[in-house]
């Protein structure tokens, strides 16, 4: 096994005795090297990369965006599956549905127009979502300088900041409405 692994450029990590002793760490390390050297998977095409949104100039932002997208998709909101977070937040309906899922009854569904017919409706839907966040979650959210028009325009950083506030409120609610200071104190 070790002789054959040398042929595929896997570094010699140990001798055969270490494998026969069943050392989990050495076996895992060896298998990891084999996989990383000769995984047998075909390279992704540009279309495949684009389909999952892996290639992006802002790697950190795209990771954050993918995490928020997955979070929304795991909430189990009927009829909601997000592919492009920023674009799908622009009409305000997605944000309203997420807020209503986190805090049922937080959205007065007589206000938002689904589907919106024009820019005014989208702005109104986003304003409704932000107002509901402020009214429902109060000082647990920080939405300074973010307006419905910013979300409608698709201002990426402001959309991500808004969704982050929803994620934060949701997780704080799940762990028992603790403050961030309580969590830091507990962690320390």
The pLDDT assigned to 177 comes to 65
Using an 8 Å Cβ cutoff, are 15 and 2 in contact?
A: yes
Among residues 84, 57, 62, 60, the alpha carbon closest in space to that of 72 is found at: 84
φ, ψ of residue 158 to 5 degrees: the values are -75, -35
Q: Which of 29, 38, 36, 28 is nearest to 4 (CA)?
A: 38
Q: What is the pTM of this model?
A: 0.64
Which pLDDT score, from 0 to 100, does residue 63 have?
83
Rounded to whole angstroms, the Cα distance separating 175 from 172 reads 5
Quick one: tokens of 36?
Answer: 């990383």
Tell me what pLDDT residue 54 has: 52
The tokens of 77 are what? 């909101």
Domains detected in the chain: 2-37 (no CATH), 47-183 (1.10.418.10)
- Give me the residues of the chain with pLDDT under 50, please: 55-57, 59-60
pLDDT value of residue 61: 54
Give the phi and the psi of residue 58 in degrees, each rounded to 5: -105, 85
The structure tokens 């704080």 sit at 172
Q: Residue 163: which residues within 8 A CB-CB, separation 6 or more?
A: 68, 72, 85, 89, 95, 98
- Output the pLDDT for position 26: 74
Q: Give pLDDT, residue 28.
A: 78
């Amino acid at each position: 096994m070790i002789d054959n692994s040398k042929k595929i450029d896997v570094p010699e990590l140990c001798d055969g005795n270490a494998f026969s002793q069943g050392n989990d760490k050495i076996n895992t390390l060896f298998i990891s090297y084999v996989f990383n050297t000769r995984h047998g998977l075909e390279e992704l095409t540009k279309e495949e990369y684009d389909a999952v949104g892996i290639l992006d100039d802002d790697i950190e932002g795209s990771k954050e965006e993918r995490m928020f997208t997955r979070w929304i998709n795991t909430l189990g909101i009927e009829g909601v599956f997000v592919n492009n977070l920023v674009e799908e937040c622009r009409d305000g309906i997605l944000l309203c549905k997420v807020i209503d899922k986190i805090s049922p009854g937080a959205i007065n569904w007589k206000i938002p127009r689904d589907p919106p017919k024009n820019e005014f409706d989208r702005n109104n839907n986003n304003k409704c979502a932000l107002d509901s966040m402020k009214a429902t979650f109060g000082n647990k959210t920080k939405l300074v300088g973010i307006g419905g028009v910013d979300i409608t325009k698709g201002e990426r950083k402001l959309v991500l900041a808004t969704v982050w506030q929803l994620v934060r409120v949701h997780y704080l609610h799940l762990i028992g409405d603790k403050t961030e200071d309580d969590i830091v104190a507990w962690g320390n």
